[in-house]
């Protein structure tokens, strides 16, 4: 109980006014937006086939983690086959044949880890750093982790950008029709097209996180002992030799 009271009594919000603390809070918010826009995304598209006027629109839904090769369209969709060239199809499913789930899960994992680390760092800055200024390893660890997250955000955002492209390709109805034999004999019309706005925004947040974390590297580095040693080495200059007091005076020849 006394320890809790001491922690809450000695907290300091000063660091939140400094660049590294303020930027850490921005990173905290951006990480939430990055993984939330990806992990919370669900959408669907629908289409109709002219083989049966009473046939309802076929609705195909997909969600995170975007295992598109598991999104199935049940076939056959036509109750009758009036075209002789088309043989009756066996019951089964047609999948979208793309699986960008690994990219999506990697992106979300980086976002969640960044969110948790920012939360832990902010707690340390506010409640513990004031009383533990003598611990040199903590700023160094903060600096190394910040550098690591710059690389993680770069790779995760690049991979997820490719993953979003795969999602768009998988849900493109022109590509889907090529796998549906019935659409080669009847008119298949798209009723509702999926929206990719949220996924595009998630990519923007991913690369924005990378730039913000990269900008914070300098401010975190300034808290390390490495920066102090570098500053001291730059300020320490060798003392110039005072030759005026030690060298004997040189008397001109014309005055001897």
Q: What pTM value is reported for the model?
A: 0.81
CA dist 125 and 135 (Å) reads 13
- Residue 192 pairs in a beta bridge with 46
For residue 9, the model assigns a pLDDT of 59
Per-residue b/e over 159-179, b at no fewer than 16 CB within 10 Å? bbbebbbbbeebbbbeebeee
CB atoms within 10 A of CB 142: 22
Residue holding tokens 């710059």? 150
Q: Shortest CA distance to 160 belongs to which of 115, 119, 210, 94?
A: 210
Sorted by sequence, the CB contacts under 8 Å of residue 27 that are 6+ apart come out as 114, 118, 209, 212, 213, 216
Determine the Cα–Cα distance for residues 106 and 114; give it in Å rounded to an integer.
12
Radius of gyration, CA atoms only, the chain: 32
Gap between the Cα atoms of 124 and 117, Å rounded: 10
pLDDT of residue 239: 47
In sequence order, which ranges of the chain are alpha helices (DSSP H)?
2-9, 19-39, 101-123, 137-170, 173-179, 197-221, 225-235, 243-246
**Judging by DSSP bridges, how do beta strands 58-63 and 72-75 pair with one another?**
unpaired
> At CA 174, angle to CA 170 and CA 179, rounded to 5?
70
Task: Mark the ranges of the chain whose per-residue pLDDT is less than 50.
Answer: 82-86, 89, 237, 239-246, 249, 256
Mean pLDDT over the full length of the chain: 82
Q: Residue 30 in 3-state DSSP?
A: helix
Q: According to the model, what pLDDT value does residue 195 have? A: 93
- Euclidean distance between CA atoms 115 and 31, whole angstroms: 5
In this structure, are residues 122 and 28 in contact, taking their beta carbons and an 8 Å threshold? yes
Q: What's the rounded Cα separation, in Å, for the pair 88 and 82? A: 10
């Amino acid at each position: 109980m006394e320890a809790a009271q001491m922690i809450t009594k000695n907290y300091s919000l000063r660091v939140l006014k400094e660049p590294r603390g303020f930027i850490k809070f921005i990173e905290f918010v951006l990480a939430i937006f990055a993984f939330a826009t990806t992990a919370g995304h669900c959408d669907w598209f629908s289409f109709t086939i002219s083989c049966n006027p009473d046939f309802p629109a076929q609705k195909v839904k997909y969600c995170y983690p975007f295992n598109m090769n598991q999104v199935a369209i049940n076939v056959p969709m036509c109750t009758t086959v009036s075209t002789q060239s088309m043989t009756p199809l066996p019951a089964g499913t047609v999948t979208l044949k793309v699986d960008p789930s690994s990219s999506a899960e990697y992106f979300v994992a980086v976002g969640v880890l960044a969110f948790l680390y920012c939360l832990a760092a902010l707690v340390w800055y506010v409640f513990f750093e004031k009383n533990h200024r003598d611990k040199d390893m903590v700023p160094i660890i903060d600096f190394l982790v910040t550098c690591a997250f710059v690389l993680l955000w770069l790779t995760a955002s690049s991979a997820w950008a490719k993953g979003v492209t795969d999602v768009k390709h998988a849900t493109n109805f022109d590509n889907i029709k090529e796998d549906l034999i019935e659409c080669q004999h009847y008119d298949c019309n798209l009723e509702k097209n999926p929206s990719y706005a949220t996924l595009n925004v998630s990519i923007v947040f991913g690369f924005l996180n990378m730039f913000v974390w990269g900008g914070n590297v300098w401010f975190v580095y300034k808290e390390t002992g490495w920066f102090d040693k570098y500053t001291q080495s730059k300020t320490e200059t060798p003392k110039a030799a005072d030759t005026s007091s030690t060298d004997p005076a040189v008397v001109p020849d014309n005055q001897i």
